[in-house]
Amino acid sequence: MGGIFKAYDIRGIYPADIDEETAYKVGRAFVAFTKAKKVLLGQDARKSSPALATAVIKGITDQGADVTDIGLVTTPMIKMMQQHLSYEAALQVTASHNPKEYGGMKLFGQAAGQITDQHGLLDIEELIDKGKFPAPEQQGAITKKDVMQAYTDLLAKHVTQDLTRLHVIADASNGPAGKVCESLFPKINIQYSALNFEPDGDFPGHDPNPLKGGAQKQAATAVVEQGADFACIFDADADRAVFVDEQGKPIPRGNIAAAIAQDYLEQEPKAKIIYDVISSHIVKEAVEQAGGTPIVNRTGAAFMMHRMATEGAIFGAEDSGHYFYRDT
């Protein structure tokens, strides 16, 4: 498939590497592999995503599964709603933080476990290469559903502290995170100022990766000018976040991970915390000092999620700005 099947997702330059024909075949192979009867599907704000989503939906329904299309959503949103709504499988059309020329997909099986090269992605690629799919029992149906309010209601239930004193700069990187912030922040009484909230696949604000393209400098300027407490910058599908403090200085990602881990360990002493191999030593030391069990793992969001499930960990973090929560 031209090298578009990676360790834990499918991605390539659109339409040279990945196009509608490929997406259609992925849809069919995805259903054939998972044997799912219903699939939850979303997409990011990339220019290529609507066309790829239409094609993959046709592939899924031609293979006999029903699709619930929840439209423009973040990757964490589709994972959480898959669990909450009890879908056997989910698929997010996204190329995550990659440049705007890229298109792609992330695939999820039972219990929102991401399908990786170690858990079925190569089998799906093989099905596509062979070009032979099992005969479907029926044609699948398509339903559209707006789950934003339900999702942010779930998130809001986890907020137990008074946040009214905070003023936050939120940068959505022209991805779907802005829609989530607009729905969630009023529910948790947090004052915020928006940066790059308009979904735009050209990513005019800055690079879709918040670690590149001046994203932190833009947020830092806003924090200082507005006297905000901090800034949070999401990547293009909102599964990464980086932070800038009240002085406009980047907060080391290891410090964020350590602080969150210690907070969790106050609630559940001796709990397991997963961190990746390139994380700062600060994370391991903070977990040990708080009485928890630090466990190092291979870098990669999907691998972190699988390890968390295997170990029964309460929290996980990668140095790239991925944070993983048992309850979400």
Q: What is the pLDDT of residues 230-271, one digit of tens each?
A: 999 999 999 999 999 999 999 999 999 999 999 999 999 999
* Average pLDDT along the chain: 96
Which pLDDT belongs to residue 63?
A: 98
How many angstroms separate the CA atoms of 39 and 148, rounded? 17
Within 86-157, residue ranges assigned H as helices are 121-130, 148-156
Res 30 pLDDT > 90: yes
- The pLDDT of 93-103, averaged and rounded, is 97
> Looking at the annotation, which residues are catalytic?
96
How many angstroms separate the CA atoms of 140 and 73, rounded? 22
Res 296 pLDDT > 70: yes
Which pLDDT belongs to residue 159?
A: 94
Burial category of 111 from C-beta neighbours within 10 Å (exposed 0-12, middle 13-18, buried 19 and up): exposed
**Which among 119, 67, 62, 126 has a CA at the least distance from the CA of 93?**
67
Amino acid, single-letter form, for residue 317: A
Does the domain at 159-251 match CATH 3.40.120.10? Answer given as: yes
Which pLDDT belongs to residue 88?
A: 95
Q: Which two tokens stand for residue 276?
A: 């990746």
Note the CATH number of domain 10-146.
3.40.120.10
Q: Which residues, other chains included, contact 202 with Cβ-Cβ below 8 Å and sequence gap of 6+?
A: 47, 100, 174
Which pLDDT belongs to residue 1?
A: 63
* Per-residue model confidence as pLDDT tens digits over 196-214: 999 999 999 999 999 987 8
Res 327 pLDDT > 90: no
Q: Which residues, other chains included, contact 299 with Cβ-Cβ below 8 Å and sequence gap of 6+?
A: 276, 277, 278, 318, 319, 320
Q: Which two tokens stand for residue 291?
A: 């009485």
- The pLDDT of 162-189, averaged and rounded, is 97
Res 111 pLDDT > 70: no
- Percent of the residues in the chain that have a pLDDT greater than 70, as a whole number: 99
Residues of the chain with CATH 3.40.120.10: 10-146, 159-251, 253-325
Res 314 pLDDT > 90: yes
Q: Which two tokens stand for residue 45?
A: 């704000």
In CATH, what is the architecture of 253-325? 3-Layer(aba) Sandwich (3.40)
* Per-residue model confidence as pLDDT tens digits over 56-89: 999 999 999 999 999 999 999 999 999 999 999 9
Provide φ and ψ at 81, rounded to 5°: -75, -25
Which pLDDT belongs to residue 112?
A: 52
How many angstroms separate the CA atoms of 313 and 9, rounded? 23
Strands 10-13 and 167-171: unpaired
Strands 66-72 and 38-43: parallel
Res 118 pLDDT > 90: no
